[in-house]
Chains A and B, each alone.
Chain A
Amino acid sequence: MQQIDTKISAPPLGRPRKLSSLIAVIALVALLAVVPIILPPAQEFLAQTVLVYALFAIATNFLIGFSGLLSFGQAVFFGFGAYMAAILWTHGVPFWLGFVVSPLAAALVAGLVAMVSLRTSRLYFALLTLGFSQLAYEVASGLYHLTGGETGIPGISVPNAISGVVSNYEFILVFIVLAVGALYFVRRSSFGMALSAIRENPTRAEAVGIHVYWHHVVAYVIAGLICGLAGVLYVVYQQQVDPVLLNWTESGEPVLMAVLGGMGLYLGPAIGSFIYIALEQWVGALTPQWPLLVGLVVLVLVIVYPRGFGGGIVDLMKFVKRRRRGIPEDEAMRTRRLSE
C-alpha cells in the first residue's frame, strides 16, 4: 500500500447515538409491553396481528425499500415458517426446536429461490418471486396428508407458559423487538452500506469490488429468515395455519403496508401494518369492499406523498421543531424535496 502524507485526523464513524432516540425506543417498547394490560382481550389478538405483520412488512421492506429488490414473494417464507412450525409441533417435535428450525428452513428456501430468481433482470425477478408464491400455495393446498390441504392445520398447541393471553402476547413482542433490533443493526453495518450502494448504483458498486449477486442473495436470505420468524410467531398466537398464508395476495400485503407507512423509514412498515389492519377492522366492519379504500389511499400516497404516513409524521415533527426554533429548511430536506 502506498502511503500518503497527510495530517487530517479520522472522523468519528457513524452518527453519535442520540440519547433521546434511545429513550424513545425504550418508551415505545414499554408502551407495547403494557398493551395487554390496557386493551380488552379481543383487541389484544388484533394487536398481535399488527405486531406480527409489522415484522413481516419490515423484513419485506428490507428487500424492497432498502436493497432495491422488488420481491412479491415474501409470503412463501412467511407461510413456509408457519407451516414448518405447525407440522413439527403437531408431530411431537419440541417447541423450541420447531421455533428455531422453522425460520432457518425458511431462510434456506429463500436462498434457493434467490439463487434462481436473481439470475434474471429486475422485472423478471419480481415476476419469478410472484410465481414462487403461487407455486407454494398450490403445493400447500395439494399435499393434504401433510398440510391439511385447503383446510390447513387447526388446533396447534403451544407450551402452557405462553398459552395465556398476556404471556402469549409478551412472548411474541420479545422476539419481534429482538428481530427488529437485529435487522436495524444489519442495515447500519458494513453489509448494509454495501446494500445501499448496490441499490443506488450497481455498476459503481461492482467497480469498487462488491459482488452484487451474492450480496443480494444474502439480503434475500436475511429477509427470508425474518419473514419465516414472523410466520412462526403467527402460529404461536393464531394456533392454526391455512394455505392463504402462502398466496400471492399475502405477499402483496407487506408491500402495501410498507407503502402506507413509508418505505424510506425503518419503522414505516410497522406504522403501515397498524393502518392496514385498522382499515381492515373498522372499514371492513362497514363494507366488504374495504380493500378498495386501501387501494385508493396507496394510490394517493404514491402520487402525492411517497414518504407515506411514517415519513409524514417525521416531516411534521421536523417542521414543528424548526418553526419553534426559527431554523431554515436544511440542505438535505431541500434536496429530498427536489428529488421527489
Chain B
Amino acid sequence: MTELENETQTALTTKGLTRKFGAFVAVDQVDFSVVEGEIRAVIGPNGAGKTTFFNLLTGHLRPSDGEIVLGREVISGRRAHEVAQMGMTRAFQTTNIFPSMTVYDNVVTALLGYSRRTLRFWTRPDASIAERAAEVIELVGLSEHRDRQAGILAHGDQRALELAMALAPSPRILLLDEPTSGMSPYETQRSVDLLKKIWNELHLTIILSEHDMEVVFGLAHRVTVLVAGRILATGDPAEVRANPEVIRAYLGGVGE
C-alpha cells in the first residue's frame, strides 16, 4: 500500500456530531476528520455506533446535533440522495443491490442517479454512461457476469457489484460498512486485494468500518476507535494497536 502523499486537504470533518434515539445516545459529540486520499478505518465493538455514524454521514439519518462538512460544504441535514449526488457514496453492511436487474443495469442505474439523469422520460442512458459502466464493471472484475441477474451472483460478487455502484461516479469519499462481512477467507482476501488495487489506481478517500483486524491493519492509513458512541482513540495502526485503552475496550477481546 502506498503511503499518503497529501495530508493538507481535509475531505470530511464532523464537529460535535450527535444522534439520540430517545434517551439512548448512539453517537455522542464525535469530532472526526479525514484528509483527501486517506483510508480511515472506524472500528469498535458491536453497538459502538459505527453504522449509525455512517448513516449520519450519508444522510440516511439526521443528526440530533453537530455538523458534517464535506470539503467546504456543510451537509448535515441533507437527504441521502443529495449526499450521494455530492460525491459521498457507500456500500452497506448487508448487500444492497437491485437483485432482478443485470449487473450492467445496476451500475447504469447508479450512474443515472448520481448524475441526476433519472428524470428523462424518452431516452435511454447515453454512450458516456454505458462506457463508464463498462469501465467500473471491469475494474471490480465482474465483466464476465455483466449480463447476469445480480440476485443470483455469489455473495463476494454481489459485494463487488455494490462496490462498483459506489465507485461508478468517481466519488470524493467512499464509505464501506463492513466490506468483508459474511465472506469466506478467500473472498475476504480477494476483496482486500481489490480495495488495494482501487486505492492504488484512484487514491480515493475511503472510510470503512470493519471487524476483521487483519483487514483493518492491512488497509488503513489511520484508525479511529469508537466505543459507546464516542471516539476513544485515533492514530496510525501501530499506535492504535499499542494503545492500552483500546486494548482494554476492544482489541483485547479480538482473537482470544
Binding site for B on A (CB under 8 A): 1-2, 4, 6, 8-14, 185-186, 188-191, 193-194, 196-197, 200-201, 203-212, 215, 218, 222, 331-332, 335, 339
Using A197-B101, A331-B152 as known contacts, say yes or no to A190 and B117 having CB atoms under 8 A apart: yes
23 A-B residue pairs with CB within 8 Å: A1-B170, A4-B201, A9-B134, A10-B130, A10-B133, A186-B121, A189-B121, A190-B117, A190-B124, A191-B120, A193-B109, A193-B125, A200-B100, A201-B97, A204-B165, A206-B81, A207-B90, A208-B81, A208-B84, A211-B79, A215-B118, A331-B152, A335-B149
Among B38-46, B138-146, B182-190, the one that faces the other chain is B138-146
The answer, yes or no, to whether B123 is at the interface (CB within 8 Å) is yes
B89 touches A (CB below 8 Å)? yes
Give A117 to B229 CA distance when docked, in angstroms. Answer: 36
Whole-angstrom distance between the alpha carbons of A206 and B92 in the complex? 12
Complex interface: chain B residues within 8 A of A12 (CB): 130
Interface extent on B, as a size class?
A: 35 or more
8 Å CB interface, B123-159 against A: 123-127, 130-131, 133-136, 138-139, 143, 146, 148-149, 151-152
Main SS of chain A's interface residues?
Answer: helix
Measured CA separation A189–B169 after assembly (Å): 20
Within the assembled complex, what's the spacing in Å between the Cα atoms of A211 and B79?
9
What is the CA–CA distance of A191 and B109 in the complex, to the nearest angstrom? Answer: 10
Interface status of B53 (Cβ within 8 A of chain A) = no
B121 touches A209 (CB 8 A): no
**A209 to B85, alpha carbons, bound, how many Å?**
5
Q: In the docked arrangement, what's the CA distance between A210 and B106, Å?
A: 13
Q: Are B139 and A6 in contact (CB under 8 A)?
A: yes
Per the bound structure, the CA–CA distance linking A1 and B79 in Å amounts to: 23
Contact A193 B112 (CB under 8 A): yes
In-complex Cβ contact of A10 among B101, B131, B169, B204 (8 A): B131
A8 and B96 contact, Cβ closer than 8 Å, known pairs A186-B122, A207-B58, A208-B113: no
- B122 and A185 within 8 A (CB): yes
List the 9 shortest-distance A-B pairs measured between CB atoms, nearest first: A194-B118, A209-B113, A208-B113, A209-B84, A208-B110, A10-B131, A210-B113, A10-B130, A190-B120
Cα distance A14–B114 in the bound complex, in angstroms: 20
Distance A208 CA – B91 CA, assembled complex (angstroms): 10
Report the separation of the CA atoms of residues A210 and B120 in the bound assembly, to the nearest whole angstrom: 13
On chain A, the residues within 8 Å of B116 by CB distance are 209
Which of B92, B100, B126 sits near A207, CB closer than 8 Å?
B92
Determine if B105 is an interface residue (Cβ-Cβ < 8 Å). Answer: yes
Hey, which chain A residues are within 8 Å of B148, CB to CB? 331
Interface contacts beyond A4-B201, A208-B110: sample of 14 additional A-B pairs, CB < 8 Å, sorted by A: A4-B139, A6-B134, A8-B134, A8-B135, A8-B143, A10-B130, A13-B126, A13-B130, A186-B121, A189-B120, A193-B105, A197-B101, A208-B89, A208-B113
